[in-house]
Chain A
Amino acid sequence: MSAVAEERDARAPWALTAPALMLFVGVLLIPLAMTVMLSFHDWGQYKGIEPVFILKNWQEIATDPYYAEMFWRTFRIAILTTLLTAVLGAPEAYILNRMSGRWKSFFLLVILGPLLISVVARTLGWALLFGGNNGLVNKLLMSLGAIRSPIPFMFTETGMVVALAHVMMPFMVLSVWAALQRLDPQIENAAMSLGAGPVTIIRRIIMPQIMPGVLSGAIIVFSLSASAFATPAIIGGRRLKVAATLAYDEFLNTLNWPLGAAVATLLLVALVLIVVGSNALIERRYAEVFR
């Protein structure tokens, strides 16, 4: 092969990936870099944005306990949502996997169906059921005399966790489902023939093998929940802000873009660190199961 041909071969992969690469740089890297830069700019009520390099926004976030509380709330909600989806979703996937043919496809559809409905519609559904005195469930329970005041749901963290868990459930179920597909179909019989009962089989044989699936589902659910906007915006509104709704308010209501950019950047960096870190941990811990 001639040197020219070799050189062309070496360039070919770059040329072929160029369109996708340009799109990636154009719509992701450049706006991201601009957001990071924006977070170092100054802003005033009357002067607007000033393109200077100062640490004012970052200092404000670091010193004002309001931000610490808000970020802590964001991650607390994301963690609780993740736990709830894992605790409900893993058994759900396991039961689903044991069902026979027709029921299996039916219930898979039931689980995945919500993905076809907008998050806003699904969250509003919760608001209709539990929204204060007029919520359907609250009204029913009150008229039955079961409760005296409506169950607090709107503007509570519990409400946000429940609604988010509902939205995120399919991701957890699918992730555990994928792990279950990799199990040897005879593995439970093998354990049974060695004398293991049903509880032991689940605890010692099934759980350890689907753990990677639960954990990768957890990473997806956690990062989506921590950066979720629509559900916290509807359930929490202005009263109970999380990082995403706060950044939105800074951008569109206060018009303090630099501060909003700083909040968004911090959320992104924290998420990337958490996700990459836990992924590395999981892969090391479960190297034998993954391969």
Chain B
Amino acid sequence: MAFLELDRVAKQFGAQTVVDDFSLVVGKGEFISFLGPSGCGKTTTLQMIAGFLDPTRGAIRLEDKDLTAIHPAKRGLGIVFQSYALFPHMTAAENVAFGLEMRSVPRNERAERVRAALAMVGLAGYEDRHPRRMSGGQQQRVALARALVIKPSVLLLDEPLSNLDAKLREEMQIELRQIQRTIGTTTILVTHDQNEAMSLSDRIVVMSQGKIEQIGTPQETYEKPASAFVSQFLGKTNDFAGTIDRTATPARLVAGSWSAPAPAGLSGAVTVSIRPERIGFGDAGLGAKVVTRIFQGNHWLFQCDGECGPAIVIRQNDGQPQPTEGEAVHLTWRPEDMSVRARTVA
């Protein structure tokens, strides 16, 4: 069911189109991530939902009401900014209470809700601290509590974890996910970190240069990338040039000395995309030579020089003997693990 809907939304700054043809339907309680490189228009899209920017074209609807007609102060959305944008002259409790004050929540109820919100983000006892006397992680929590205490219909998070160090970020990811699961607020997260998007979201919107590349669950976008951009952006991948030969019967997909029955639809030049952890070493398949072999504890990383260009292979460290550097190997994979796209031959 459509809760929040973006319908062919576009934003132009002067002649520059920053977001184009952006359509998305978000269900109630869903956790969506906008994922893409810096400058691809994620923040702009989020700010159009928040109301700080007006779309040049298109419509944004919340529960079938036109959101763009509502003043940002009246939209009732919770927003966590990348810089947190806490009010430095107010204590943590005053920051969290501000939105309730604006809604004229009675004093007693206000105090109780502020206390509960700070406790939820693990900041019980920090009520009287000023933001500048708090660590980055604590400020981040105050910002989250401030956005959630008003019981927003949608929670918008603009790279909320990017200013934290790696360990803290992982902790906060888990916590964020738990909080969101508990209270069930529909959430949109903007990030350029594919791990963050994959570990947090129900669905990921992969963006590039203002356009949607793919919308799908983390697994779908990782395993069935809709474009070269998506497969490159979501982790390491191998792209091999192949061809589909429809003259043979049955039709076959060929990449170097590796071949398999051709998938339906495509023909001619194609790109075969396969994740490094889905490639195995076998007796027959794509011919290659191991160039470097790197031990990484729970897995081995092989860089190979193959018939169709360089290839990366990741093998679990399962105690089996592994090929050594310089050894000639054959790379094989299951046809269902690859994704095949048409390739334009230069």
Contact = CB atoms under 8 A, between A and B. Distances in A.
A70 B88 CA distance: 43
A286 B89 CA distance: 8
A184 B73 contact: no
Contacts of A286: 89
B85 A187 contact: yes
A194 B133 CA distance: 23
Contact of A288 (B77, B89, B147): B89
A91 B325 CA distance: 71
B236 to A, nearest CB: 35
Contacts of B41: none
A200 interface: yes
B87 A205 contact: yes
Contacts of A289: 88-89
Interface string B81-110: 101111111000000001100110000000
Given A195-B150, A209-B89, A184 B83 contact: yes
Given A189-B50, A189-B52, A194 B132 contact: no
B145 interface: no
Contacts of A291: 132
A209 B88 contact: yes
Interface in A172-211: 184-187, 189-197, 200, 204-205, 208-209
A184 B98 contact: no
Contact of A193 (B78, B103, B132): B78
Interface residues of B, number: 29
Contacts of B343: none
B72 A193 contact: yes
B315 interface: no
A204 B102 CA distance: 11
B130 interface: yes
A184 to B, nearest CB: 5
B275 interface: no
8 nearest A-B pairs in the assembled complex, by CB-CB distance: A195-B102, A194-B99, A190-B85, A186-B85, A288-B130, A208-B89, A193-B79, A186-B81
Interface of B: 47, 50, 52, 72-79, 81, 83-89, 98-99, 102-103, 130, 132-133, 146-147, 150
Given A195-B150, A289-B88, 18 more contacts: A184-B84, A184-B85, A186-B81, A187-B85, A187-B87, A189-B79, A190-B81, A190-B85, A191-B98, A192-B52, A192-B73, A193-B50, A194-B98, A195-B103, A196-B102, A197-B73, A204-B98, A288-B132
Interface of A: 184-187, 189-197, 200, 204-205, 208-209, 286, 288-289, 291
